Chain A
Amino acid sequence: MARAATTADAFNAVAEPRRRQILDALAGGELPVNDLVQRVGLAQPQVSKHLRVLREVHAVEVRDDGRRRLYRLNGEALKPIHDWVAQYERSWSERFDRLDTVLDELKQKEEGDDGDR
């Protein structure tokens, strides 16, 4: 596989539920760490630890705003996940569309059988 088994990639970053919560919170706009602490319900050191992991894979970026540091989501870093899920989903959707056809025929046959009785 092209990707080494390392912890530093987007798939790993979003595997942890708390980090997904942080990403969800940031999806609404940039926030200082105190607001994230409130929304996620973890102590600040833990939130900071998760933010570090998310920043390593560039899923989250930070900027200074006066004395505050504001965190924001970088959707581009999550694109590999989106792309994979979209492709996988498309494959399964094509299968299921064909399954629909098979099921329609089975239903018609059953109705036909009932009619014969």
Chain B
Amino acid sequence: MTVTASRSAKVTLQGDRQILITREFDAPKELVYRAWTEPELVRRWWTANRGEMTTCDIDLRVGGSWRYVMVTPAGLEVGFHGEYREIVPGERLVTTEVYEGIPDAETHAALDTLTLTESDGRTTLTILVEHPTQEGRDAHVNSGMEDGLQDALDLLEQAVTALH
């Protein structure tokens, strides 16, 4: 099932455990890879407009780990971390991804596969997010649509959590 919103990122739910995100960039894949893996560049886009990035650690080697943390204007800290499993510079990156805001976070780690393919100087980026269980995918999905308390902090938290 594909639902396309106003802008050009495309998100598809695949089966019961996968989420696929795709987007095309007007740049060669080497540059997209750099923007994805160099901390000083990641800091500039990863939070979108939702907070300040306080931690951006990248140990780019197989078995190395990464950790991204941002703090929202309301003071909410949102952290993610993972481990690099496969690295093909400029082309492919496989990492685990743990959202630190849920109980038993490690057991709900997703496996993310980033793929970059270039054609005529433009790069298509795809991220396949694969959850170990359907419950994990659903929790990920639900994190952006829970209809509980509607106070400002909750709304902000939903918006931020939906980033991942």
Interface residues of A (CB under 8 A from B): 1-3, 5, 11-12, 14-17, 20, 23, 78, 80-104, 106-107, 110
Contacting residue for A95 out of B26, B32, B34, B45, CB 8 A: B45
- Contact check, B141 vs A107: say whether CB atoms are below 8 A apart: no
Nearest CB of chain B from residue A65's CB, rounded to whole Å: 28
- Contact check, A96 vs B134: say whether CB atoms are below 8 A apart: no
- Contact check, B142 vs A102: say whether CB atoms are below 8 A apart: no
Is B58 in the interface zone, CB < 8 Å from A? no
Contacting residue for B13 out of A81, A94, A104, CB 8 A: A81
- A19 CA / B38 CA spacing, docked (Å): 42
Q: Could you say which residues of chain B place their CB within 8 Å of the CB of A5? A: 135, 138
Q: Assuming A87-B162, A92-B9, A92-B11, is B26 touching A3 (CB within 8 A)?
A: no
A-B pairs with beta carbons under 8 Å apart, 27 shown: A1-B139, A1-B146, A3-B138, A5-B135, A5-B138, A11-B16, A11-B141, A12-B16, A14-B1, A78-B1, A81-B13, A82-B3, A84-B141, A84-B142, A84-B145, A85-B3, A89-B7, A91-B163, A92-B21, A94-B7, A96-B8, A96-B9, A98-B45, A98-B48, A99-B35, A101-B45, A106-B34
Interface residues of B (CB under 8 A from A): 1, 3-11, 13, 15-16, 19, 21, 23, 25-27, 31-32, 34-35, 41, 44-46, 48-49, 134-135, 138-139, 141-148, 159, 162-163
Contacting residue for A97 out of B1, B7, B26, CB 8 A: B7
- Contact check, A107 vs B46: say whether CB atoms are below 8 A apart: no
B145 closest partner in A (C-beta): A84
- Contact check, B3 vs A2: say whether CB atoms are below 8 A apart: no
Q: Could you say which residues of chain A place their CB within 8 Å of the CB of B48? A: 91, 94-95, 98
Nearest CB of chain B from residue A105's CB, rounded to whole Å: 9
Q: Could you say which residues of chain A place their CB within 8 Å of the CB of B159? A: 87, 91
- Contact check, A17 vs B15: say whether CB atoms are below 8 A apart: yes
B45 closest partner in A (C-beta): A98
Q: Assuming A5-B138, A102-B35, is B146 touching A90 (CB within 8 A)?
A: no
Q: Could you say which residues of chain B place their CB within 8 Å of the CB of A1? A: 138-139, 142-143, 146
Q: Could you say which residues of chain B place their CB within 8 Å of the CB of A3? A: 138, 142
Q: Could you say which residues of chain A place their CB within 8 Å of the CB of B16? A: 11-12, 15-16
Q: Assuming A2-B148, A15-B15, A98-B45, is B5 touching A89 (CB within 8 A)?
A: yes
- Contact check, A15 vs B148: say whether CB atoms are below 8 A apart: no
- Contact check, A103 vs B25: say whether CB atoms are below 8 A apart: yes
- A104 CA / B160 CA spacing, docked (Å): 26
B141 closest partner in A (C-beta): A84
- Contact check, B142 vs A89: say whether CB atoms are below 8 A apart: no
